[in-house]
C-alpha cells in the first residue's frame, strides 16, 4: 500500500481550494492517513526542496512556499505516488491537462497550487520531514469496494 506526500501550497490555501483538492483524492479512492495546516519556515522548506538548491528560481520558490500556511497530507493507496502526480498535472500548469488540479486551477509554474512526491523514496523522505510524529493508522470500511484483493 503505497504512500505519497501531497501538499496544498500557500496559493491553494489563499484561493480556498483546500476542500476541492482533498475531495479529488477522497473521491478517487485514496485514504487520508495524515493532515495538518502548517506555516513552514524557510529552513524547513529548503530541506523539502533541497534537490533544487542552486536553481535560479530557488529563492523565489522558498519565499512563495513560506508566504502562508500549507496543507500537509499523506495519502495511501494503489500507485499513490505516480497517480498522485497525474492528478496534480505537469509542473507548468499551461502544460497540464484539463481535469488535473493544475490544469483546472493554475496558470503559472511559480503558483502551481500543489506538490506531490516524485518517487516512493522521496515520498518516504518527505513524510518523515513533515510528519515526524507519524501517520494515523485506521481501517477504511470502504477499501474492499475500492481495491480488489483487499
Ligand atoms: P513539486 O510537486 O512542487 O515538487 O513540483 P514538481 O515536482 O512538478 O517540479 P519540481 O520539483 O521540479 O519543482 C518544484 C517547484 O518549483 C515547482 O512546483 C514550481 O513551483 C517551482 N519551479 C520549478 N521549475 C520552475 C521554474 O522554471 N520557474 C519557477 N518560477 N518555478 C519553478
Ligand atoms: Mg518536485
Tell me the three state secondary structure of residue 66.
coil
- Return averaged pLDDT per consecutive 10 residues of the chain, 150 residues in all: 98 98 98 98 98 98 98 98 98 98 98 98 98 97 90
Q: Are 14 and 52 in contact (CB under 8 A)?
A: no
How many CB atoms within 10 Å of residue 6? Answer: 29
Distance 6 CA to ligand 2 centre (A): 11
Nearest-CA neighbor of 39 among 122, 130, 135? 130
pLDDT for the residue 115: 98
Cα(35)–Cα(58) distance, rounded to whole angstroms? 26
CB 85 within 8 A of CB 122: no
First to last CA, the chain: 10
Which pLDDT does position 4 carry in this prediction? 98
Residue 5 CA: which ligand is closest?
1
CB 100 near ligand 1, within 6 Å: no
CB of 59 closer than 6 A to ligand 1?
no
Tell me what ipTM this predicted complex has: 0.97
Cα of 115 vs centre of ligand 2, distance in Å, is: 7
Cα of 39 vs centre of ligand 1, distance in Å, is 19
Active site residue 48: no
Identify whether the C-beta of residue 123 lies closer than 8 Å to the C-beta of residue 117: yes
pTM of the complete model: 0.97
Amino acid at each position: 500500500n503505497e504512500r505519497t506526500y501531497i501538499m496544498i501550497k500557500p496559493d491553494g490555501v489563499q484561493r480556498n481550494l483546500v476542500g476541492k483538492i482533498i475531495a479529488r483524492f477522497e473521491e478517487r479512492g485514496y485514504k487520508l492517513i495524515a493532515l495538518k495546516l502548517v506555516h513552514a519556515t524557510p529552513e524547513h522548506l529548503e530541506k523539502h526542496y533541497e534537490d533544487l538548491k542552486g536553481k535560479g528560481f530557488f529563492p523565489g520558490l522558498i519565499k512563495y512556499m513560506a508566504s502562508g500556511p500549507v496543507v500537509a497530507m499523506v495519502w495511501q493507496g494503489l500507485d499513490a505516488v505516480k497517480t498522485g502526480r497525474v492528478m496534480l498535472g505537469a509542473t507548468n500548469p499551461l502544460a497540464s491537462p484539463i481535469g488535473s488540479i493544475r490544469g483546472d486551477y493554475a496558470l503559472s509554474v511559480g503558483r502551481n497550487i500543489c506538490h506531490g512526491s516524485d518517487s516512493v523514496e522521496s515520498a518516504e523522505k518527505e513524510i518523515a520531514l513533515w510528519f515526524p510524529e507519524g501517520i494515523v493508522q485506521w481501517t477504511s470500511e470502504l477499501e474492499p469496494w475500492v481495491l480488489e484483493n483487499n
